[in-house]
Amino acid sequence: MSYVAQAATTWGMSSYNPLAGPHAADAVNALLAIDVERVALEAATAASHALQIAEPALLADVAREARAELTRVAWTARHGWALTLRAVLEREGLARAVGDETAPPADEPWGDIGGIVARDGDMTGLDRVAPVLFGDAVAETLGWTPRGLPPDAGLRWAAAEARKVLRKHGAPAALGQTG
């Protein structure tokens, strides 16, 4: 099955690229003919070595990041740039939920993210959004105001929320494609 067909049938993202036509399918199939997965893995491995990352890149890593990035692109095409805390959490949570099929369970402690989103969901600015996404250690390191949150609290919470929507309604609803 071609990648273009999988976007609709496997991931439920039928409008992931509304401008793509037959030429796009031809381009994807040409990439498959040159074993693009192997090329991508070799590139990721070379980048790992160049950056002196100890762990070798695995095809599973490349595939996970590709799914997550496709989700980000699809979300942004549908909703525009994620500028508010609420939008960033929605986009990044969905990217993590779709990208990482082996994610930890949703019962982890992450502080009062739901309350923060209810109160401050429309706030913008990296110095205000990032501490919620990444937790107090990152906020303090960068000189930003901590929010009383453990590491990656907002990202983990957002992924758990996105998984609930995915399980209950499927990918099109999670992406905002349905009514």
Domain locations in the chain as residue ranges: 3-174
pLDDT at residue 29 in the model: 77
How far apart CA 45 and CA 89 sit, in angstroms, is 30
How far apart CA 107 and CA 169 sit, in angstroms, is 20
pLDDT at residue 178 in the model: 47
pLDDT at residue 61 in the model: 78
How far apart CA 178 and CA 173 sit, in angstroms, is 5
pLDDT tens for the chain, 179 residues: list them: 455 555 555 544 444 444 455 666 677 778 778 888 888 888 877 877 777 777 766 777 777 888 888 888 888 888 888 999 999 999 999 998 887 766 555 566 777 888 999 999 999 999 999 999 999 999 999 999 999 999 989 999 999 899 888 888 887 777 775 44
Q: Which pair of structure tokens corresponds to residue 119? A: 């109160």
pLDDT at residue 12 in the model: 47
How far apart CA 107 and CA 112 sit, in angstroms, is 13
Tell me the Cα Rg of the chain: 18
Task: Spell out the residues 6+ positions from residue 169 whose beta carbon is closer than 8 angstroms to its own.
Answer: 178
